[in-house]
Chain A
Amino acid sequence: MQRVKHNPLNLALAHLALIIYTIIALFPVLIIIINSFKTRKAIFRDPLALPNSETFSLIGYETVLKQGDYFGYFQNSFIVTVGSLFFILLFGAMAAFALSEYRFKGNTLMGLYLALGIMIPIRLGTVAILQFMVATGLVNTLTALILVYTASGLPIAIFILSEFMRQVSADLKDAGRIDGLSEYRIFFQLVLPLVRPALATVAVFNMIPIWNDLWFPLILANSEETKTLTLGSQVFIGQFVTDWNAVLSGLSMAILPVMILYIIFSKQLIRGITSGAVK
């Protein structure tokens, strides 16, 4: 297919604009990471310089590792994120299957009821959620966080997944039924594998907000044992306002796991977003 030739000048301008914006996007992150490896003197004398043999120092990281339980925080964040995603996908897919596969009284109404949550920010129920968690003894447990994130992720998950499940061929499911498969096996063995791309989309959409949330860890699980990495770095960095080495190292260590996750999942994430969730 022959396209109209693009003006090379326009392309160069586009590159220039994009490079400038990329620098704006990355500069603050790079400046934090670079300076976390320098001595206190060098941080202030020449903040833009890379560390060299003279100015290189790991003193900030030593302080951070001695003080905060970073690995514990990381583990908590990991358990909460993976646990919530698991239940969002499992419960969401099950409900989406029920709504898209069976005709029953109140089907549309149930769909609307579940979709309502897309518009309601779950934070507005915080007060009552806290009372619920106190009453059930779940305060300061990771279970509380997993429950809350599952509830808040379900509406959009059900919405997206039922759209995809309507596209799964009815012949295939009927063939399964004729072969004597139970409805459960049809769901788990025939339908779920076919909607894997949609499951990935839902997972990546939910992953970042859950990992980064500060509100619910702050309110529901702020004990030392249940702190997530986001809350842990908030509290920890706040204690070291004047120790610039420790603050910069603490920030870099909080950036690191997210960056690694992003690099691993970035293809999946971008494909998820661009695969037409919004049309």
Chain B
Amino acid sequence: MTTETRPKRRWQILVFLAPAVLVYTALMILPLFGTLKLALYENVNEQQVFVGFKNFATLFGDPNWSEAFWRGLKNNTWFFIIHMLVQNPIGVAIAAMLSVPALRFKAFYRTAIFIPTIMSFVIVGFAWKLILSPLWGIAPGLLDAVGLKHLFQPWLGKEEYALTTIALISVWQYVGIPMMLIYAALLSIPDEVLEAGEIDGITGMKAFWKIKLPLILPSIGIISILTFVGNFNAFDLVYTIEGAMAAPNFSTEVMGTLMFRTFFGHQTQPGDPNMGSAIAMMMFLVILAGVTIYLFFIQTRMRRYQF
């Protein structure tokens, strides 16, 4: 433990804390309140006028707005479901295979599979746009090679497939994150625990389901909440691939693109910072609700093991 803090040391605390607290308060906390304030005001003849919850009433009451908002929220949810069903199981499976001690070339697999994760949305978005383009013919060509050419569709251009395709591209990009975190969690399981299982005849797949999986549940929980926050903030990939209008016909609209378009305006519609802030506040509430549910209902019920 530290020794009694003597009065002459007091100044240091201030000096050490000040830069971080100042930057953090000025650019994270105050802007969040700023957004809240803007959401409660309206622009009347170039004057900001306090209108209470009117913007929120418009957002939910006016069918033009509420339809766009619910569509965004629904698409964010679908985005999240795809990530949970595809990205995280694949990540766990790869990590489980990598953690087999006898497996060789681990470093190679790990490095290669993580490469998409380090690339920007811009590169990933354009690369997939080209590959899936019917003009270039890589995707139809590959499907033809396995005799499935009839399955090819211009996925990114069809309303019914576009969002799912973008979600799968995002899964392709981010599988590296659950893979690494689960791999780290699996490595931290002590050998004694696994050996004790082996003595009882629990090996291979059975050891994974019965011993390892329960032990890495907290990591899976953290990955789920990271996925949740990331997915409900999604913007970049949709913007790069389908533009701010969330083509085709708004079918790839997420809350992020709606907020971006509302705030900055697009084509004929002028930007509206007040409505944009109202949408941002709703995004904040959705994320906060998700994190709260996780912290209070899931994490507290999760059993933790200490070695």
A interface residues with partner B (beta carbon < 8 Å) = 1, 3-4, 6-7, 10-11, 14-15, 17-18, 21-22, 24-26, 28-29, 31-32, 43-44, 47-48, 87, 90-92, 94-95, 97-99, 101-104, 110, 114, 116-117, 119-129, 131-132, 147-148, 150-152, 154-155, 158, 170, 173-174, 177, 183-184, 187, 208, 211-212, 214-215, 219, 230, 233-234, 237, 244, 247-248, 251, 254-255, 258-259, 261-262, 266, 270, 273-279
A148 and B28 CA atoms in complex are apart in Å by 8
Given A14-B97, A25-B115, A214-B239, verify A121-B136 contact (CB < 8 Å): no
Binary A-proximity of B246-283 (CB < 8 A = 1, otherwise 0): 00000000001000000110000000010011001101
Establish whether residues A31 and B131, one from each chain, have CB atoms under 8 Å apart when the complex forms.
yes
Q: List 5 A-B contacts (CB under 8 A).
A: A3-B101, A3-B102, A43-B136, A102-B5, A126-B280
* Complex alpha-carbon distance, A276 and B229, angstroms: 21
Q: Which residues of A contact B273 (CB under 8 A)?
A: 127
A98 touches B235 (CB 8 A): no
Asked if B53 CB lies within 8 Å of chain A CBs, one says: no
Contact string against A for B residues 183-220, beta-carbon threshold 8 Å, 1 for contact and 0 otherwise = 11101100100000010000110000000000000110
Residues of A with C-beta under 8 A to B233: 121, 123
CB-CB under 8 A from A212, the residues of chain B are: 118-122
- Partner among A47, A184, A244 whose Cβ is within 8 Å of the Cβ of B12: A184
Main secondary structure of the interface of A (DSSP, over half): helix
A103 touches B2 (CB 8 A): yes
- State the Cβ distance, B119 to closest chain A Cβ, in Å: 6
Chain A residue numbers with a CB within 8 Å of B103 are 11, 14-15
In angstroms, Cα B278 to Cα A127, docked, is 11
Instruction: Check: B293 CB closer than 8 A to any chain A CB.
Output: no
What's the nearest-Cβ distance from chain A to residue B85, in Å? 17
Contacts of A244 in B (CB 8 A): 130, 136
Q: In the docked arrangement, what's the CA distance between A88 and B193, Å?
A: 39
Pair B187/A274 contact, Cβ less than 8 Å: yes
| B302 CB within 8 Å of chain A | no
Distance, CA A228 to CA B100, complexed state (A): 41
Complex Cα distance, B34 from A256, in Å, reads 39
* Chain B positions 276-303 with a Cβ under 8 Å from a chain A Cβ: 276-277, 280-281, 283-284, 287-288, 291
- The answer to whether A94 and B16 have CB atoms under 8 Å apart is yes
Listed from nearest, the 5 A-B pairs whose CB atoms lie closest are A128-B34, A125-B31, A151-B27, A212-B120, A128-B31
Which B residues from 92 to 121 make CB contacts under 8 A with A?
93-94, 97-98, 100-103, 105, 108-121
Q: Are B120 and A262 in contact (CB under 8 A)?
A: no
State the CA gap A115–B99 with chains docked (Å): 32
User: Interface centre among B35, B126, B236, B277, by most A CB within 10 Å?
Assistant: B126
Complex contact B138–A237 (CB within 8 A): no
How many whole Å from B133's CB to the nearest CB in chain A? 10
Question: Closest A-chain residue to B96, C-beta based?
Answer: A14
Residues of B within 8 A of A (CB): 1-3, 5, 9-10, 12-13, 15-17, 19-21, 23-24, 26-35, 37-38, 90, 93-94, 97-98, 100-103, 105, 108-123, 126-128, 130-131, 136-138, 141, 172, 175, 180-181, 183-185, 187-188, 191, 198, 203-204, 218-219, 222, 229, 233, 235-236, 239-240, 256, 263-264, 273, 276-277, 280-281, 283-284, 287-288, 291
Q: Which residues of B contact A275 (CB under 8 A)?
A: 184
Is the beta-carbon distance between B122 and A258 smaller than 8 angstroms?
no
Q: A102-B13, A124-B32, A258-B120 are in contact. Are A18 and B27 (CB under 8 A)?
A: no
Contact of B102 among A11, A110, A259, A274 (CB under 8 A): A11
Which residue in B126, B136, B218 is a CB contact (below 8 Å) of A47?
B136
Q: Are B119 and A255 in contact (CB under 8 A)?
A: yes
Q: How far is the CA of A154 from the CA of B17 in the complex (A)?
A: 12
Report Cα–Cα, A15/B26, bound state, in Å. 51
Contact (Cβ within 8 A) A95 B20:
yes
Q: How far is the CB of A36 from chain B (nearest CB, A)?
A: 11
Given contacts A11-B103, A214-B122, contact A127 B240 (CB under 8 A): no
- Say how far B149's CB is from chain A's closest CB, in angstroms: 15
The reply to whether A25 and B172 contact each other, CB–CB distance below 8 Å, is yes
Given contacts A151-B27, A212-B122, 20 further A-B contacts (CB under 8 A): A11-B100, A22-B108, A25-B115, A25-B116, A28-B172, A95-B17, A102-B13, A103-B5, A122-B27, A123-B233, A124-B280, A125-B30, A126-B31, A127-B38, A128-B37, A174-B3, A214-B122, A255-B119, A261-B118, A279-B218
Q: With A and B bound together, what is the CA distance between A87 and B27 in angstroms?
A: 14
B222 smallest CB distance to A (angstroms) = 6
CB-CB under 8 A for A119 and B229, given A22-B109, A95-B21, A124-B35: yes
